[in-house]
Amino acid sequence: MNDSSPGEGHVHVVGTAHVSADSVREVEETVKSERPDVVAVELDEGRYRQLKGGTPDDIEARDLLRGNTVFQFIAYWMLSYVQSRMGDKFDVKPGADMLAAVETAEEESLDVALVDRDIQTTIQRFWRRMGTLEKMRMAGDLAFGVADARGVGAIAGIAVGVFLGPLVGLYGDVVGISDLFLTRAATGAVVGAAAAYLLYTIASFSLSGDDALLAGLGGGAAVGLVGGFGLGYGTGLVTSLLGGLGTTIVGSLVVGILAGVAVGVAVGTVLNAVGLFTPAEGTDVEEFDMADLTDGDVVSAMMEEFRRFSPGGAEALIDERDAYIAHQLVALRQSGRSVVAVVGAGHKAGIEGYLENPQTLPPMESLVGVAEKDGFPWGKIVGFGITAVFVTFFVLLAMAGVGNQRLLTIFGAWFLINGIFAAGLAKLAGARWTSALVGGAVAWMTSINPLLAPGWFTGYVELRHTPVNVGDIGTLNEILSDEETPIADLVGQMFDVPLFKLIMVVAMTNIGSIIASFLFVTYVLPVIAADLGGITGVTNLMLEGAANSADLIWRTLA
């Protein structure tokens, strides 16, 4: 394409597939034949330096640890991994087209312009633009290989089951779920997990990694269901290990999660059947011969499929970058320079549309910076609500006449259970003792403050000893491309990568604190407050405290 006006330069856009050998040859031939003033490439500074073999950027601690960065990292890793696997399939290094453009420009003594948006900005906006349903579909596809309503139902069922489990433990007897049933459920879970690990270990000697994993999971599920739950084998051992409270916790969570998943999958199946939640159009793609399609055909089809899957994500990953790159190219053209722009085939049409009609370009300031989420800020409201409930809980008990010693006992239990779970899971993820203990020490406070998370503190201490950089993602891709190493060994290798280990330490610390908070409210508090009448008695005391507070306020104002 050659877009120009009198007195301006012109732009020739070359659309490539990032993992295609044909695209590499096309880029080299176009640059040599056109001999432009500038070769513009779809790269930012960090990716350019990494592609040229330079040292990857160190990741800023505050960027890695804040907010949803863990999820952004997963999204970036997922995209990077998919591209890496495509490169393996077609025997071309991902980014070879861009590298060919840069190296050919250097051979011909031509200028190179990096015209893409910073990848961290793109991934952050990509995650923010994705809707909750789209994220659940992605999670269902990754976890279960199903991206339709069944996968969404399974993910939603797990989330609901975590909340449902404590209710089963507290009020299960009302609907006929006895203590014996919960004990059998806990036994089935523990015995099944132990059997799965043992069977997987044995199977890995003779089967491939995936087959051994399936054999372990299938065998473990059968042993747990029939032996542990059905026949009660191992009940005495499990109850002695977990204790009465631990057995109830494990059993009720197992029942809640399994019930949630079963209902979620069933509802999803019905929704699919009646057509209310069908898979994205075009998912049943017929087999095709790669030789019959151009790079642009294949990549454009993939882009459109992704747009059907996630309109919000496509806006950040495709549309916004089309506009950003077009801004750079329009500026080069207006400076009077001739440009060959090498971009992914999926971006070509959008960029050319903006070059033909630059007045339609959105303002540059709308394409950079942190993307704000649309809609009502439910997350923040829930977070602040938790803080308010926690403070109100202690105030009302104090106003009801509950003594300081009892309040300190309740607070001490809150402190201990949060600290033990946060520090314990952080240590399980490989954190140093100092990092784990710091996270555990602050977990009681961060679990009620929506602006903080214990994982941040654990991560900051861990980063003093563990520098990380974006090059670790390439290492993770290489590990995951190994299809022969057993899963357990692959996981161990991944934990040897500093970036993955740090992300897991941060995530597990936060998960530990979340689990502890639920366990405290639903299991620990009723035990501590047994002489007060359990949950019902505590609720009555809070109502009494509210009445006393209202009376005090009324008398103060009167």
pLDDT digits (tens, 9 = 90+) for 507-556: 888 888 878 877 787 777 777 777 777 667 878 888 888 888 888 888 88
Which DSSP string do the residues of 44-96 spell out, in sequence order? -HHHHHHHTT-PPPBPPHHHHHSTTHHHHHHHHHHHHHHHHHHHHHHT--TTH
Q: What is the mean pLDDT of residues 242-264?
A: 86
Q: What is the mean pLDDT of residues 63-73?
A: 53
Instruction: Give the residue with greater pLDDT, 210 vs 40.
Output: 40
Most confident of 343-347, 373-377, 525-529: 343-347
Contact in structure between 340 and 31 (CB atoms under 8 Å): yes
The per-residue pLDDT for 32 is: 93
Could you tell me which residues come within 8 angstroms of residue 419 by beta carbon, excluding any fewer than 6 positions away? 440, 441, 443, 444
Considering Cα of 475, then 476, then 481, then 483, what sign does the dihedral take? Answer: positive
Which DSSP string do the residues of 505-531 spell out, in sequence order? HHHHHHHHHHHHHHHIIIIIHHHHTGG
* 345-356 vs 295-309: helix crossing angle, rounded to 10: 90
Least trusted range by pLDDT, from 2-6, 221-225, 342-346, 477-481: 2-6
Contact in structure between 521 and 515 (CB atoms under 8 Å): no
382 burial type by CB count under 10 A (0-12 exposed, 13-18 middle, 19+ buried): exposed
Most confident of 98-102, 283-287, 298-302, 323-327: 323-327
Nearest to 328 by CA among 353, 355, 348, 350: 355
d(CA 492, CA 476): 11
pTM of the shown model:
0.63
Instruction: Give the residue with greater pLDDT, 412 vs 489.
Output: 412
CA angle in degrees (0–180, nearest 5) for 457-461-465: 155
Q: Is the pLDDT of residue 12 over 90?
A: yes
User: Structural domain boundaries of the chain?
Assistant: 10-143+312-366, 149-276, 403-531
Contact in structure between 305 and 280 (CB atoms under 8 Å): yes
CA angle in degrees (0–180, nearest 5) for 500-68-59: 50
Contact in structure between 458 and 505 (CB atoms under 8 Å): yes
The per-residue pLDDT for 296 is: 45
Contact in structure between 176 and 185 (CB atoms under 8 Å): no
The per-residue pLDDT for 338 is: 94
Nearest to 524 by CA among 354, 389, 410, 419: 410
Contact in structure between 246 and 127 (CB atoms under 8 Å): no
Contact in structure between 538 and 525 (CB atoms under 8 Å): yes
Is residue 288 left, alpha or beta, with left meaning phi > 0 and alpha meaning psi from -120 to 50? beta
Beta bridge partners of 397: none
d(CA 262, CA 252): 15
d(CA 469, CA 471): 5
Contact in structure between 535 and 170 (CB atoms under 8 Å): yes
The per-residue pLDDT for 329 is: 95
| Paired sense of beta strands 10-16 and 38-41, if any | unpaired
Q: Please give the C-alpha separations between residue 302 and each of 49, 344, 453, in angstroms, as whole numbers.
A: 27, 12, 37
d(CA 45, CA 441): 40
Query: Which two three-digit tokens encode residue 142?
Result: 């990754």
Contact in structure between 417 and 444 (CB atoms under 8 Å): no
Ramachandran angles phi, psi of 400, nearest 5°? -85, 0
Query: Which two three-digit tokens encode residue 479?
Result: 């590990």
Chain-centre distance of CA 505, in angstroms? 14
Instruction: Give the residue with greater pLDDT, 294 vs 486.
Output: 486
Most confident of 135-144, 279-288, 525-534: 525-534
DSSP 130: S
Nearest to 541 by CA among 529, 557, 553: 529
The per-residue pLDDT for 309 is: 66
The per-residue pLDDT for 297 is: 44
Contact in structure between 245 and 522 (CB atoms under 8 Å): no
User: Residues 432-491: pLDDT tens digits?
Assistant: 999 999 999 988 887 676 556 788 788 888 887 777 766 677 777 677 666 666 666 777
The per-residue pLDDT for 475 is: 76
